[in-house]
Structure 1
Amino acid sequence: MASPLRVLVTGAAGQIGYSLVLQIAKGDVFGKETPIVLVLLDIPPMAAVLEGVQFELTDCALANLTGVEAVTNEKDAFTNIDYAFLVGAMPRKEGMERKDLLAANVRIFKSQGAALAEFAKPTTKVIVVGNPANTNAFICAKYAAGKIPARNFSAMTRLDHNRASAQVAIKSGVTVGNVKNVIIWGNHSSTQFPDVSHAKVNKNGSEVDAVSAVGDSAWLQSGFISVRGVTVQKRGAVIIERRKLSSAMSAAKAACDHIHDWYKGTPAGSFVSMAVPSDGSYGIPEGLIFSFPVTISNGEWKIVQGLELNDFAKEKIAVTTKELLEERDEALAACGESKQ
């Protein structure tokens, strides 16, 4: 048997963590043939709950799960890991503003970035799930710099990608497996831009553009993006309103999809949405953690180039870019750093 992958999940005693760890353990991410050691991190007051999760994973009797470690300190959590799902963060609650989340979470992700630099492998790959995910990933990468390259840090916009794909499928009268190449541009927030202008739908045995398959351009520029959040932009807020809890199940699935594709690669002719450090593509400031369409091969992502953007798209992308720049500067200030 090959050496097991050490996979860290922070906030593992929480809602998303509880939904996430079984999916990783049973092979949904790295494959059923890949041995895994799961490292579960949470804060000391959650130690007993964390131990309960550890016991449950053991009781699942999964052949490829070679170990489960429940820890409450960063040194034990981050030492020699291969992948990190950074889920643990101050939770978003009904009525909470993103700026409140940002201020509360900067300290957490600054500390975890430093821990990655000190204890993790230089090849470690990181997905940040805790909100505000893009900016938390930016801070984490900054404080891991010198050990782990910035391109090994990403933030999850796959949940938004999945939401958008599902809505296109419903409107087109197909199952979601027949939809590809939806794009989420920008921030994992209500300013994100869900874009279907390059998406394809397999309908009645033929691949057609999503705009034609949907057959409702007005909806694609309004209701699809946001009607009280029922579709994409503010969907998370509506789920909190309905459940009084965040969208843990779908977030965990999306995090698994994100890392699965980073590990296994994307199919030929398909791309997915992933928030990664900008290289200046599409005019986005370099270094900003921004959601782009990407293809992935041999564990390396590449931003899809040359997509045409109309004036509507450019306007939406400008709005989400402005928000991310403001968040970045707020976060840097909270860390005692000067604005870039």
Structure 2
Amino acid sequence: MKILDWYILKRYLLTFFVMLLLFIPIGITVHLAEKIGKILENEAPFGEVMLYFLDFTIYFAHLLFPLFLFLSVIWFTSKLANNTEIIAFLSSGVSFSRFLRPYMIGASVVSVFALVLGLYLAPEASKGFNDFNYKYLKTGKSAVDNQNVYRQIDDTTYIFVSSFDTKQKRGQNFTLEYIRDNKLVSKITASSIQYVEKDSTYRMNTYVKRYIGDNNDIIETARRKDTLFAFDLEDLTPVEYIAETLRYGELNRFIEKEEARGSSYISRYKLVKYRIWSLPVSVFILTIIAVAVSSIKRRGGMGVNLAVGICIAMVFVFFDKIFGVMAAQSDFPPLLAVWFPNMLFGILAAYLLYNAKR
């Protein structure tokens, strides 16, 4: 039986990677045809363009990972069924569970690959991909929520700017408040604040600082004042895709910091964190569904199996996107949003596997 195990395992892995190699160039070609006008218009350097498409390759592969896997398993399993190879396996006394074992070994290999991709490679690729997009392809669009920014820096410090320019690192109508024991201790206001990289200082115009006393207040004013603060304006207004660019340890620390600051994007950040672990599990679920659907020889041949498989894959992607949007835009729990498609399709996988055994 080891010969048959190796035969199925090699077909599983080979078909999956061939599917990736076939679809990725198609994706690059379509994307290039769509974006080439803006790339030339904005005179993007050739080296940056090459790095962009390398990042796009990894980003694209990670994004559509479950779909590629599902279709590849259906493809080669349908070929086995049409050639009556599966009937020969089962007729020799091999149970369906035993027949499924090399698929599970292959799924384990692919899930480890997916985990490494999500933990290390995809964050770097996502950073390059999104940075290039907003630098050359999405001119005029902002990647940050830069209007009416209100953040909690620590237990006692709160800031506000009415608007923020990420390129100039400049905020308008700046306010900083120190609050202890629910009492306002001091308050700083300025018509504008700008981060000076050369000196790592902040330059404020029309500076006013008020110390709140028990009997009277002390007011300090200046037309312009340079000072140090224990925060970076870029940290106060992170780009909306920042979570996708952080490795797992960095992502955990970033989420803790953003929760303390009361970030409105915290659900989006948690979605990225939970998806890193849900993707490897979905590999096993989709493998079982694909085998159960395509292991039966049908009158319509491989085309019927592929049609059924594509429909199931589209429904899976639909549920994943819908619940992701719900969690990002509402109070729907991100953990449930990420794992609900796996739970739902896990039940479907168990049902299909039971009927396939029969």
Calculate the TM-score normalised by the size of structure 1: 0.27
| Structure holding more helix per residue | 2
Larger radius of gyration: 2
Calculate the TM-score normalised by the size of structure 2: 0.26
More relative contact order, 1 or 2 (CA 8 Å, 6+ apart): 2
